Amino acid sequence: MVDHKPSIFQIMGSVVAAAFGVQTAANRERDFKGGSAVPYLVAGVIFTLVFILCIVGVVKLVLGS
C-alpha cells in the first residue's frame, strides 16, 4: 500500500470537519498517516482567523456599526 499525501482540498475539509467535531474515522486515519502536521496547523490557524473575522463582520452588520 502506497501512502499518498492529502490534497489541499482534503486538508481544508479535514480542518473544517475537525473544527465542528464531525471528522470521520477514515479521514482522521488518513490525516495521521499523511506525514507532516504543518499543513494542518497552518490551515487551522487560517481557518480560525477567517472564522473570527466572519463573526466580527456579522456582529458589526447586525449592530449597524
* Numbers of helices and strands, H then E, in the chain: 3, 0
Residue type, 20: F
Q: Give the CA angle between residues 53, 55, 58 to the nearest 5°.
A: 110
Please tell me the pTM assigned to this model.
Answer: 0.78
| Structural domain of 22 | 8-63
In this structure, what DSSP letter does residue 34 have? S
| pLDDT of 54 | 97
Report d(CA 38, CA 45) in Å as an integer.
Answer: 11
Structural domains of the chain, count: 1
CA 11 from chain centre, in angstroms, equals 7
Q: What tens digit of pLDDT does each residue of 45-63 get?
A: 999 999 999 999 999 999 9
Q: Confirm whether 59 is domain-assigned.
A: yes
